Amino acid sequence: AHQWRGVIAEYADRLPAHLLERTVTLGEGGTPLVEAPVLSGRTGARVFLKVEGMNPTASFKDRGMTAAMSAAAARGAEAVVCASTGNTSASAAAYATRAGMVCAVLVPDGKIAMGKLSQAIAHGARLLQVDGNFDDCLVAARKLADSYAVELVNSVNPDRIEGQKTAAFEIVDALGDAPDIHVLPVGNAGNITAYWKGFREYAGQGDPGAPGADLPAVATRTPAMWGFQAAGAAPIVLGHPVTEPETVATAIRIGNPASWAQAEAARDESGGVIESVTDEQILAAHRVLSAEAGVFVEPGSAASVAGLLSRAERGLVPAGATVTVTVTGHGLKDPQWALRTLDGADVEPTRVGADVVSIADALGL
Ligand code: F0G
């Protein structure tokens, strides 16, 4: 019987050798690529969801974290630090525990989804709520790692990108070739950087010196990369940093992305776009995913689907195109959004007696 061994073991021939010395894994990756007929119907394309909430800590961050933590372990590191809007801290905390390291996390005050906060605490992280936003946290985390004996595991760490590029490999492996279009949410812009690197390498267009550059190409082409930011946190779309980013999608509440230039390169080299979607569009897409596609994601993840639907409404999705959409984190991370209507009213369960007649009555049977 074959058991998925985690992304480093599965894609060892296309990753830096130092990740194999002391691999720290929780079995991440191997996530389902789920066809979404509802979205195909709405867009006229053939749409698949890469469901990254199925990773060990329920977000895509685990792919990068296995790599960053394996590299840190190989160097004999004893402590790591990250800034986070929540998911990175949950992942770093879990992998640091596994590696026997101390994990410090800097999170913006009061804007972290409960599920993510509880994960970081459950895994024993040294959690500090910083008086500032994510961008302030990242500046502080970088300085801390520069001056003290702690390793930075944010996506500015190149090993994070190496790990996260495996999601692009998995998509091509599942479809037999690259999609026409790949869609994803953009926050700090590490993930769009990683996917573009992965798609290029699988099409034989990676750097000549990259691991696996001598292997035969797996894909015949690369997709157009479509990235979506939340309208209140859309620095790349606006062309300047946003000093006070705001959005219900707290995961991508980021005003000055670290991988800004790489995101623009992915957009331009792939013939893609980076656009913004409003909180209303994000919550509407969140509802379509949960109530019609059967896939429960956190709001930040729904930004990708919101963007796809928005472009479809404007007639910008080519008919019959193969479209893959990364939904980055699980809905249970931030479940409060399911418990209110799109108008903001609380959803209350209908109360009934324990007899079958009352129950059938309430169900309209
Ligand atoms: N979706 C989710 C659920 C995220 O948590 C993030 C980033 C993104 C999308 C955006 O990815 O930053 O690579 O462009 N979360 C980071 C964190 C910032 O701290 O957990 P990106």
pLDDT in tens, 298-328: 999 999 999 999 999 999 999 999 999 999 9
- Write down how long the chain is: 365
pLDDT of residue 342: 80
Strands 224-230 and 126-130 turn out to be unpaired
Residue type, 117: L
ipTM above 0.90, yes or no: yes
The alpha carbon of 189 and the centre of ligand 1 are apart by a number of angstroms equal to: 8
Atom 12 of ligand 1: nearest residue by CA position: 188
Cβ(317)–Cβ(311) below 8 Å: yes
CATH domain 7-59+159-339 topology: Rossmann fold (3.40.50)
pLDDT of residue 162: 98
Supply 135's token pair. Answer: 């961008």
pLDDT of residue 167: 99
Atom 7 of ligand 1: nearest residue by CA position: 251
Cβ(57)–Cβ(90) below 8 Å: yes
Question: Architecture of domain 61-157 in CATH?
Answer: 3-Layer(aba) Sandwich (3.40)
Supply 252's token pair. Answer: 């991508």
Residues within 6 Å of ligand 1 by CB? 59, 61, 84-88, 155, 185-191, 251-252, 298, 300-301, 328-329
Please state, in angstroms and rounded to a whole number, the distance separating the CA atoms of residues 111 and 139.
18
The alpha carbon of 355 and the centre of ligand 1 are apart by a number of angstroms equal to: 47
Atom 15 of ligand 1: nearest residue by CA position: 251
Q: State percent of the chain over pLDDT 90.
A: 95
List the chain domain ranges.
Answer: 7-59+159-339, 61-157
Count of CB atoms situated within 10 Å of the CB of 6: 23
pLDDT of residue 341: 84
Cβ(299)–Cβ(286) below 8 Å: yes
With a cut of 90, say whether residue 34 has pLDDT above it: yes
Q: Which residues of 43-52 are buried (b: 16+ CB within 10 A; e: fewer)?
A: bebbbbbbbb
Q: Give, in degrees to the nearest 5, the angle at Cα 197 between 261 and 265.
A: 25
Ligand 1 mutation target, pool 80, 82, 84, 85, most atoms within 8 A of CB: 85
pLDDT of residue 111: 87
Per-residue pLDDT tens over the stretch 207-218: 999 999 999 999
Confidence category of residue 23, pLDDT binned at 50, 70, 90: very high
Q: What is the mean pLDDT of the chain?
A: 97
Ligand 1 mutation target, pool 31, 54, 59, most atoms within 8 A of CB: 59
pLDDT of residue 344: 84
Give bridge partners of residue 226 from the DSSP assignment.
183, 273
Ligand 1 mutation target, pool 328, 332, 333, most atoms within 8 A of CB: 328
Collapse the DSSP code of 246 into the 3-class scheme (helix H, G, I; strand E, B; otherwise coil) and give the result. Answer: coil
How distant, in Å, are the alpha carbons of 85, 161, 320 from that of 45?
A: 32, 29, 4
Please state, in angstroms and rounded to a whole number, the distance separating the CA atoms of residues 89 and 84.
6
For range 35-64, the mean pLDDT: 98
Confidence category of residue 234, pLDDT binned at 50, 70, 90: very high
189 belongs to an annotated ligand binding site:
yes
For range 218-245, the mean pLDDT: 98
The answer to whether domain 7-59+159-339 and domain 61-157 are alike in fold is: yes
With a cut of 90, say whether residue 100 has pLDDT above it: yes
Cβ(258)–Cβ(156) below 8 Å: yes
Q: State percent of the chain over pLDDT 70.
A: 100
CB neighbours of 242 closer than 8 A, spacing ≥ 6? 232, 233, 234, 235, 255, 256
With a cut of 90, say whether residue 1 has pLDDT above it: no
Per-residue pLDDT tens over the stretch 339-357: 888 888 898 889 999 999 9
